[in-house]
Amino acid sequence: MADDPSDGDDQFGDDERFDRDDRFDDDDETPIVRDPGRPPDNGGPSASGGTAPERSRSPDTFSRGLEMLRDDPWLFVPFLVAGLVLSAVDALRLMDPIPVLERGAPGTGNLDIQIEFVGYPAGVPQTMVRFESLVGLEIPYLVWGAGLYAVALLVVVAAGVLTINRAMDGEAGLAGFVSLLGFALGVDLVNRGLGSIDLLQGMGLFGLVWLAIYLYLFVRLFAVPGLVVEGRSLPAALEESFELTAGRGWSIFGLILLFGLGAWLIASVPHVGTVASTVAVAPVHAAIVVAFIEVARSEANRRTTI
């Protein structure tokens, strides 16, 4: 009895036969060559009837940061609380006898365009006490003024740690809080020591040199808040931030202008400026710092594997 021609195929199981036949088109049985480096298609149902893998993050820093906020609205909550606390601090400063600088509202004639960027995710209060205003005060008033300053700084740093940790899917730790607090305090002291960008601009061409250095340092330290919250020591975070920001200066400078001008504009809204600027800008700043670190590291890893 002649052998059945189909018997030769019986040595293959159903799955093996399907895998073998799937290499050919239906019409001309031409082998289908698949690019091993091409990622699988996302966004639709798979061949097995299940759902496709979740869509990958955008490779663009700004878009990826916005995706984080869209996917997890809870990232706004810490800075909402911080904005409310900063508003309460503003109200208390306006009631005490310590001299304060109060932000001008649109149409008052004393409004200057400013870049409200301090190097870490923060709100924009309506009042500020210069350190020289605390000189010569009686002890109770000195403690009161320094206490309000400490409360405002602590609540902003705590909001930054919580937001960045959540965006990184990490765990908030005391070391990250202390490191970010040290960085924020150092940056704030430098800002107050310089007076303001307005002071540098008033120095003419010589002031422009210092202004360029000032902005350059902000650009190169852009990733520090995320790195210290992630667990890096402050010196290690400073070094890695310089490495990650190399070659990306103009794009980071654009983000600084966006954050600074946006915060200034929103903070100029009477009565609600502090809360509005803190909620609208600080979480975006925090998320984009996290996105920037992810994108920069991914690009660095690709370069090392090529």
pTM of the model: 0.76
Kindly report the average pLDDT of the chain as a whole number.
79
- Predicted local distance difference test score (pLDDT) of residue 159: 97
Q: CA quadruple 252, 294, 220, 129: dihedral positive or negative?
A: positive
pLDDT at 238 over 70: yes
Give the model's confidence band at 275: pLDDT under 50 very low, under 70 low, under 90 confident, else very high.
Answer: very high
Among 1-10, 48-57, 182-191, 269-278, the range scoring the smallest mean pLDDT is 48-57
| Orientation angle between helical segments 249-267 and 205-220, nearest 10 degrees | 100
Q: Vertex 213, ends 183 and 256: CA angle to 5°?
A: 65
Residue type, 210: W
* Burial of residue 253 (number of CB atoms within 10 Å: 0-12, 13-18, 19+): middle
- Predicted local distance difference test score (pLDDT) of residue 73: 95
Q: What is the pLDDT of residues 52-89, one digit of tens each?
A: 334 456 668 889 999 999 999 999 999 999 999 999 99
pLDDT at 255 over 50: yes
* Burial of residue 77 (number of CB atoms within 10 Å: 0-12, 13-18, 19+): middle
With a CB cutoff of 8 Å and minimum separation 6, the contacts of 134 are 98, 142, 145, 146
Q: CA quadruple 83, 85, 90, 91: dihedral positive or negative?
A: positive
With a CB cutoff of 8 Å and minimum separation 6, the contacts of 279 are 76, 79, 80, 83
With a CB cutoff of 8 Å and minimum separation 6, the contacts of 99 are 129, 130, 133
- Predicted local distance difference test score (pLDDT) of residue 195: 58
Which residue has 């799955």 as its token pair?
Answer: 15
With a CB cutoff of 8 Å and minimum separation 6, the contacts of 109 are none
- Predicted local distance difference test score (pLDDT) of residue 36: 42
For residues 187-210, average pLDDT: 67
Backbone angles phi, psi at 83, to 5 degrees: -60, -40
**Identity of the highest mean pLDDT range in 2-16, 32-46, 56-70, 241-255:** 241-255
Q: CA quadruple 73, 77, 78, 79: dihedral positive or negative?
A: positive
Collapse the DSSP code of 104 into the 3-class scheme (helix H, G, I; strand E, B; otherwise coil) and give the result: coil
- Predicted local distance difference test score (pLDDT) of residue 246: 93
